[in-house]
Structure formats: structure tokens, C-alpha cells
Amino acid sequence: RSYTPVSANWDRGYFDLLIKTYPQGNVSLYVRDMKIGDKLQVKGPKGQFVYRPNRVRVFGMIAGGTGITPMYQIMRAVLNNPEDRSTIQLIFANVALEDILLKDELDALAKEHPDRVKVTYCLNTPPTPAENNGHPWEGYTGFVTEEMIRKHLPAPASDIQILMCGP
């Protein structure tokens, strides 16, 4: 299986993986059951995407489920570079509220960089107010649609990059 580290390139001596555990997932169950001191053989990297500061005016991102991991890594790289003024518009789709990986981290990035980061959530099964700290669900319900993409992502242009990852 291929996994995208969520740690940044400037984190030296270790890397963090975000792995969702699935009931039938052999690798995810194996990793979940590992103990401190157990060893795991890894190789990589795999893929061709290279982030270059200020080459893109806006990153438009569509992520589903664990597809958020490469998006999160790119977001952190862009926002950590004080010279990069790229903005990020993310549509993040999941089944239910409890499936939204890195929600606190994404919300924190949007709050810390309100002029540069916009996150739009979409759930197949939205929470009731009781399941959402007494608040009604403010995101979209159902699947990502063309209308949603047109409203929340940039229009095609030479300085726009659209990225998509996930189911």
C-alpha cells in the first residue's frame, strides 16, 4: 500500500503517517496492532508532484477521505513558506462527521490564514445538531457536484492548479 506522510519535509529524523483503520484492511490492522519497538519496512517516495513556491496563484483541491493526506502536506508547505502567497481552496468530502480526518488541523489552518485558506466540507450523512455540539451542519450534504466545484474552486487558468485525491 502507498501512504502519504503528513509530516513536512523540514521534519528531520522521522515521518508521520495518517492511516485509517478498516475492518478488512490487512495493512491498517497490522499497523494499528504494532507495539513500540516493532519494526516496519518502508520504501519510497512514490509519485511525481514537486511543490515550487509561487508557481501557482491558487491551488484548488478536492479530497475524499484519506485523500486529504497529500493535500494537507501541500497546504503545510505553502503556508510554512513566508514568501509564498499562493492561496488554497479545498473541498473535502467524507461519509460522516467522524470520518473527517485532520478536521481540527484544517480548521486551524483556515482560522490562522483566513485570506489564504478556504475549506468546504461535504458529507453523505450530515450530523444532527446533537451530534455537532448543538449546531446545525453548515457544510454540504451528498456528493461533490459541478455546482459546488464552480462555486468553491478557481476557474481554469495558467496560474491555477487543481489537485484531486481520494475515493
Q: Examine residue 4 and state whether it is found in any structural domain, yes or no.
A: no
Q: Examine residue 148 and state whether it is found in any structural domain, yes or no.
A: yes
Burial 115-147 (b: 16+ CB within 10 A, else e): ebbbbbbbbeebbeeeeeeeeebebbeeebeee
In this predicted structure, the answer to whether residue 45 has a pLDDT above a threshold of 70 is: no
Consult the annotation and say whether 27 binds a ligand.
yes
Q: Examine residue 114 and state whether it is found in any structural domain, yes or no.
A: yes
Residue range 110-132, pLDDT digits in tens? 999 999 999 999 999 999 999 99
pLDDT reported for residue 139: 96
Consult the annotation and say whether 28 binds a ligand.
yes
Consult the annotation and say whether 18 binds a ligand.
yes
Q: Examine residue 145 and state whether it is found in any structural domain, yes or no.
A: yes
Q: Examine residue 36 and state whether it is found in any structural domain, yes or no.
A: no
In this predicted structure, the answer to whether residue 42 has a pLDDT above a threshold of 90 is: no
pLDDT reported for residue 111: 98
Consult the annotation and say whether 69 binds a ligand.
yes
Q: Examine residue 93 and state whether it is found in any structural domain, yes or no.
A: yes
Q: What spatial distance separates the first Cα and last Cα of the chain, rounded to whole Å?
A: 15
In this predicted structure, the answer to whether residue 16 has a pLDDT above a threshold of 90 is: no
The count of structural domains within the chain is: 1
pLDDT reported for residue 142: 97
Q: Examine residue 24 and state whether it is found in any structural domain, yes or no.
A: no
Consult the annotation and say whether 117 binds a ligand.
no
Query: Which residues span the domain enclosing 73?
Result: 53-165
Q: Examine residue 7 and state whether it is found in any structural domain, yes or no.
A: no
In this structure, what CATH number is given to the domain that contains residue 71? 3.40.50.80
Rounded mean pLDDT, 95-113: 97
Residue range 76-89, pLDDT digits in tens? 999 999 999 999 99
Q: Counting Cβ atoms within 10 Å, is residue 90 exposed (0-12), middle (13-18) or buried (19+)?
A: buried
